[in-house]
Amino acid sequence: MKRILAAALATAILAACSSTSTKEQDAATVEDRGGATTQQPATKPPVASGPTTTPLDPKGVSSNPLKDPSNLLSKRSIYFELDSNIVKEEFKPLIAAHARYLQQNPAQKMTVQGNADERGSREYNLALGQRRADAVKQMMLLLGAKSEQIETVSFGEEKPKATGHDEASWAENRRADLAYPND
């Protein structure tokens, strides 16, 4: 009995996942102001497209995708919460894009630079920066990049992006930066 239910469930799942072909509908009947019905071809609505991005393969692009401001690869900072090395959901697509780039360019290398805000001791901030850099590297490895392509380093509080002493400045400094040679 269990085997029959399992087989039925598997069949139902596969049937639900199957795709059906879509046919264009015949032209709609349009009524004119005089009351006569005429057959006119329906116009196709514009196709909605998602955000456009530059291909990750630099051979197909005349410019460097790492320096193209419209490409996700030009973004290089991943921000963290206070005392945390957990990558926020909003930065996972950025990390995935860089991991794909490294996977498609096996000779390319990068450095993940961990940073912290000024609060906490020097030793604590160096360790936190290293945990942040390692977290980003680990995610990239899981997404297909090779370990020998990625080096990690911690600057702790030594390379602030913002020099203020308020929450907005500290939030800018709690980050990991992705650096490529010849940046």
The label of the residue with tokens 């030594």 reads 158
pLDDT tens for residues 144-156? 999 999 999 999 9
Give, in order, the Cα–Cα distances in Å from 96 to each of 68, 86, 133, 146.
17, 15, 15, 13
Q: Are 102 and 146 in contact (CB under 8 A)?
A: yes
**Higher model confidence: residue 55 or residue 82?**
82
Copy the structure tokens of residue 74: 């030009």
**Using an 8 Å Cβ cutoff, are 115 and 174 in contact?**
yes
Domain 76-183 homologous superfamily, CATH = OmpA-like domain (3.30.1330.60)
pLDDT beyond 80 at 83: yes
Q: Say whether pTM exceeds 0.85.
A: no
CA atoms within 13 A on the CB side of 102: 28
* 11-23 mean pLDDT: 47
Q: Which of 69, 76, 72 is nearest to 112 (CA)?
A: 76
Question: At which residue do the structure tokens 């600057």 appear?
Answer: 155
Phi (first) and psi of residue 120, to 5 degrees: 95, 165
pLDDT of residue 110 exceeding 60: yes
120 within 8 A of 172, measured Cβ to Cβ? no
Percent above pLDDT 70 for the chain: 66
